[in-house]
């Protein structure tokens, strides 16, 4: 049998015709079905993510603040959370451990887990903006820490106290004698002494007095 390498035979032509008539359409049809299923799944995933995102965005700033405060108090043992005035969904809090007192800023917009699922990822959204070791030069066994008071404009106010001190009912922390602050809007975060003006001091004294009379 003589093999002709450069010439199409009748059976090769027949095989090609069978392929184009039967096999190729079936293969194209199969690929079309697979593409359709993948596209449907992709669209469903997109819609699901959009629903979650809409649910997150529909929450009011007050609801987000309450949920964040509840979450961080339970998991990070933070005493108080402070909302930054004029800045939606930005919170400040203080943690105290063996390395010192840390002031943290949590920004909801930087927490991608919350944006997608509505669940807080505190480390993802948080950035440490200030740290101070209050016990590095302390020769006694007393352990000191910082506790937050609140905001006066962009000044985040706190005070130094002993670790085991418990708040006294009706005591207004704004009347502490050793108030300090950091300006969270400043380019450099430096701790400074905070002094109430006369109007502020009078207002907080009246609130404290009214609270004690009501006891």
Q: pLDDT, tens digit, for every residue of 127-178?
A: 999 999 887 766 777 888 999 999 999 999 999 999 888 888 889 999 998 9
Residue 53: predicted pLDDT: 45
From CA 74, how far away is CA 105, in angstroms rounded?
Answer: 18
pLDDT tens, position by position, 188-200: 899 999 999 999 9
Question: According to the model, what pLDDT value does residue 77 have?
Answer: 79
Conformational region of residue 118, where left means phi above 0, alpha means psi within -120 to 50, and beta covers everything else: left
Distances (CA, A) of 61 to 58, 155, 197: 9, 21, 30
User: 206 with 175: CB under 8 angstroms?
Assistant: no
pTM: 0.71
Q: What would the two tokens of residue 131 be?
A: 């740290």
């Amino acid at each position: 049998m003589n093999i002709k390498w450069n010439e199409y035979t009748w059976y090769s032509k027949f095989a090609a015709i069978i392929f184009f008539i039967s096999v190729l359409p079936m293969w194209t049809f199969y690929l079309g079905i697979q593409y359709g299923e993948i596209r449907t799944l992709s669209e469903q995933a997109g819609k699901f993510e959009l629903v979650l995102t809409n649910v997150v965005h529909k929450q009011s700033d007050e609801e987000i603040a309450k949920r964040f405060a509840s979450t961080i108090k339970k998991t990070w043992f933070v005493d108080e959370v402070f909302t930054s005035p004029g800045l939606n969904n930005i919170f400040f809090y203080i943690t105290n451990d063996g390395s010192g007192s840390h002031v943290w800023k949590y920004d909801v917009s930087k927490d991608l887990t919350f944006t997608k699922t509505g669940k807080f990822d505190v480390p993802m959204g948080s950035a440490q903006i200030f740290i101070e070791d209050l016990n590095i030069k302390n020769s006694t066994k007393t352990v000191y820490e910082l506790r937050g008071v609140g905001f006066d404009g962009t000044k985040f106010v706190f005070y130094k106290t002993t670790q085991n001190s418990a708040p006294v009912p009706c005591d207004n922390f704004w009347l502490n004698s050793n108030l300090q602050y950091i300006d969270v809007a400043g380019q450099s975060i430096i701790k400074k002494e905070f002094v109430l003006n006369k109007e502020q001091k009078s207002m907080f004294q009246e609130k404290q007095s009214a609270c004690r009379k009501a006891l």
